């Protein structure tokens, strides 16, 4: 995870990506002594809602930077006095944003820069560390965990050495035993709840270990080259599907921004209607943006007519062609 995030310190994982983000913003607030959080609307709505829920108890002030044509408009919000600037790569519409802008804002305001990243994308794209992130959070579900109706999943968390003493969750270090053999131990335990009680840096004290072990096995099996191949198949499959889909009558592109494996298109019919027709053809055809609470400003992108589609490494060319043929009928 340290290699995928491009950051030197990674914990033993957390519950899921959303709770990892909560821990990250709490960490930033504790580190800076501020309570203002500036978060891109490109961060998945469910993750933002999780942060908002926790903020009701912590007193954090949430400022959401809106999307314009699928890309975060950082100039639309006041970032002064922020504890954290939270960006995502790619965003939940699938688009890849230039993170040098939020990084610069974080530096100007002496805020921590948090990147929510797709860990599979790190196989071919820049890592959070290469973008200058102080903290990385991600969802590890793609590494061998079934969808399972939403969980249990795997929260990924990594940070710079400067933030190590505020790191939530278990931290494992390498040492040697009395006989000089390689050994692993939990370290910097004084951060944790069972020792510091109310002064602990975090109240989280466990994770979904089975999912963490599964991910470790999957990544060990793939290796660096294998992960690159998985990421490449995702990107190529998504581009192939996108080019065919936007050529259909009744479908138009939302933005010309690059994407990785997820993308959004606009449908002439309501997306929910299109999806119902696809189910009748045997396809779970994607998601309607309207089904996600607090998705985007409807004056910028109409969520009712926005269809979110994802293409993973498991999808073959024949499957994509068959899906596109079904979609061609469903959008009319």
* pLDDT reported for residue 169: 83
Considering the entire predicted model, what is its pTM? 0.93
Across 225-256, b (16+ Cβ under 10 Å) vs e yields eebeebbebbbebbbbbbebbeebebbeebbe
pLDDT mean over 101-117: 98
Token couple for 257: 């921004």
- For 208-218, how does the pLDDT look when each residue is reduced to its tens digit (9 = 90+)? 899 999 999 99
Structural domains of the chain, with CATH: 2-214 (3.40.640.10), 224-330 (3.90.1150.10)
- For 154-173, how does the pLDDT look when each residue is reduced to its tens digit (9 = 90+)? 999 999 999 998 888 888 88
- For 52-82, how does the pLDDT look when each residue is reduced to its tens digit (9 = 90+)? 999 999 999 999 999 988 899 999 999 999 9
**Residues with Cβ < 8 Å from 210, sequence gap 6 or more?**
152
Of 255, 246, 235, nearest to 95 by C-alpha is 255
- For 26-44, how does the pLDDT look when each residue is reduced to its tens digit (9 = 90+)? 999 999 999 999 999 999 9
Comparison of pLDDT for 146 and 292, the residue scoring more? 146
Comparison of pLDDT for 112 and 188, the residue scoring more? 112
């Amino acid at each position: 995870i340290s290699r995928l995030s491009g950051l030197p310190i990674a914990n033993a994982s957390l519950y899921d990506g959303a709770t990892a983000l909560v821990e990250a913003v709490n960490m930033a607030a504790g580190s800076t002594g501020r309570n203002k959080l500036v978060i891109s609307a490109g961060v998945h709505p469910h993750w933002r809602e999780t942060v908002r829920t926790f903020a009701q108890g912590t007193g954090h002030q949430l400022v959401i930077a809106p999307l314009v044509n699928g890309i975060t408009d950082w100039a639309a919000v006041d970032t002064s006095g922020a504890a954290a600037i939270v960006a995502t790569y790619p965003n939940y519409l699938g688009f890849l944003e230039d993170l040098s802008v939020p990084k610069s804002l974080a530096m100007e305001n002496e805020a921590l820069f948090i990147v929510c990243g797709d860990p599979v994308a790190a196989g071919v794209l820049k890592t959070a560390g290469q973008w200058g992130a102080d903290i990385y959070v991600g969802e590890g579900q793609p590494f061998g965990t079934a969808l399972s109706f939403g969980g249990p999943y795997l929260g990924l968390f990594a940070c710079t050495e400067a933030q190590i003493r505020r790191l939530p969750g278990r931290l494992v270090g390498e040492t040697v035993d009395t006989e000089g053999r390689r050994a692993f131990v939990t370290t910097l335990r004084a951060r944790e709840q069972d020792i510091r009680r109310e002064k602990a840096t975090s109240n989280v004290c466990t994770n979904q270990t089975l999912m963490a072990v599964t991910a470790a096995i999957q990544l060990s099996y793939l290796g660096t080259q294998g992960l690159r191949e998985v990421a490449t198949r995702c990107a190529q499959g998504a581009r192939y599907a996108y080019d065919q889909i936007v050529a259909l009558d009744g479908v138009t592109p939302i933005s010309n921004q690059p994407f990785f494996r997820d993308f959004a298109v606009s449908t002439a019919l309501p997306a929910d209607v299109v999806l119902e027709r696809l189910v009748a053809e045997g396809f779970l055809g994607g998601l309607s943006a309207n089904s996600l609470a607090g998705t985007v400003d409807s004056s910028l992108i109409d969520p009712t007519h926005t269809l979110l589609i994802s293409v993973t490494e498991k999808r073959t060319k024949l499957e994509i062609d068959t899906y596109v043929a079904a979609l061609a009928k469903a959008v009319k």
